Amino acid sequence: MIKRNPYKRPPRILIIGDPCSPLTRERGLVGSKGGYHIYWYSLVKAELKGLTGTMAPPLSHLKWLPVLLSPLFLWRAIHHIQPDLIHAFYANQQANTMVLSKFKPLILTVMGGDVLPDQSFNGRRRWSIKKMLNSADVITSKSLYLDAALNQIGNYAHKIHRVTWGVDTKRFRPGVEVDFLRQRWDIHPEDIVFFCPRVCQPFYNKHLIIQAFANYIHQSGPRPKATLIISELLAETSYSKRLRTLAKELELMEHVRFVGTILHQEMPAYFNLSDIMVAVPPSDGMPQSLYEAMACGTYPVLGNLPQYQELVEDGVTSRLVKVGDVLHLSEAMSWAVAHPEQRKAAAIINRQRVMEVADKDTQDQLVNSIYEELLQKYGKSV
């Protein structure tokens, strides 16, 4: 917490990020708990509680003009707000890079895919992403895997800070009421429930999850008691339609629930409703949904990516499968259903692991201490 000086205003922090993202909204407001005044700049207007002020380009309803003119409007916002510190979320800031790279102090939070070569760090984006990384005073990273990815780009070890951001373990916990979801989606209390919470785009391989689920269903005898919940967060319309068509072709519609975009406040209930979370993208950072699942006691079935192995152990606290191998995935799903005692034991271990590395209260204090350290370094602390 900052010490207040009655003769000076609290330091101003300008957040650069997408206010439509629940996670970015939550993380961008962390400084308000430290007594800082929080301002927000984005291409869309932010209506968020806890902000001191917001700025967005005019004509933001137009598709390309705000993007092209964003650096000009960002410079104007900085001149107007006079922030003491800027915190940018996501390394790919495109045209805004030239403005942000000239500001000190600058914190950059990498999200995962923005610094991985098989996602965003490729082609013409490499230059602007590397410039943001070079310009930042502090880079926050969620995992050793992301540290390694950053250090493949440049020598950033001296500026990397481990910030997992964490989850609110008071909300994401076992024992959350779920009957309203069972009624809403017509899910029988005896059903084993699989949950696919990731973004509904081809990259996240939800079609493979449906195929693996079909194998499980058709090998489990007549009318098995099982449901697969598919989140449609940030859905590509054509892909969402493809998934529905696939479920119909595989005769799964009575077992699959397409639930649209889930309200973030309902996520603890969805994880408590679910016995098993399934996520198999070919590449990843350290997904928030994994922390949330582990905090709630939901058993993870995941692709065998090295970053996941920092949190879970195959056969003990999760099942890790070869990405793209539908048969291996369906076998892991079947194994998880057949071993409820292992899932129960994993739930205890996984929640303790989250409490150790990703408790939100602890992480909020860490972020505010980073703010204070940088402000002191640049003589801007009160």
Q: What is the pLDDT of residues 243-276, one digit of tens each?
A: 999 999 999 999 999 999 999 999 999 999 999 9
CATH number for 179-357 (one of 1.20.1250.20, 3.30.420.480, 3.40.50.2000, 3.50.30.50): it is 3.40.50.2000
Rama region for 231: left / alpha / beta (φ>0; ψ in -120 to 50; rest): beta
Three-state helix/strand/coil letters over 94-159: HHHHHHHCCCCCEEEECCCHHHCCCCCCCCCHHHHHHHHHHHCCEEEECCHHHHHHHHHHCCCHHH
Output the pTM of the full model: 0.89
CATH number for 12-166+359-377 (one of 3.40.50.2000, 3.40.50.1000, 3.90.1150.10, 1.20.58.1690): it is 3.40.50.2000
Per-residue pLDDT reduced to its tens digit, 155-206: 999 999 999 999 999 999 999 999 999 999 999 999 999 999 999 999 999 9
Domain extents for the chain? 12-166+359-377, 179-357
For the record, the structure tokens of 268 come out as 């603890």
Pair 165, 358: CB distance under 8 Å: yes
Same topology, domains 12-166+359-377 and 179-357? Answer is yes
Distances (CA, A) of 239 to 183, 212, 228: 27, 17, 17
| Side chain identity at residue 379, one-letter code | G
Per-residue pLDDT reduced to its tens digit, 274-333: 999 999 999 998 899 999 999 999 999 999 999 999 999 999 999 999 999 999 999 999
**Average confidence (pLDDT) over 130-159:** 95
Pair 124, 99: CB distance under 8 Å: no
Cα separation, 339 vs 316, whole angstroms: 11
* pLDDT > 90: percent of the chain: 78
First to last CA, the chain: 11
Amino acid 53: pLDDT: 78
For the record, the structure tokens of 274 come out as 């679910």
Burial of residue 176 (number of CB atoms within 10 Å: 0-12, 13-18, 19+): middle
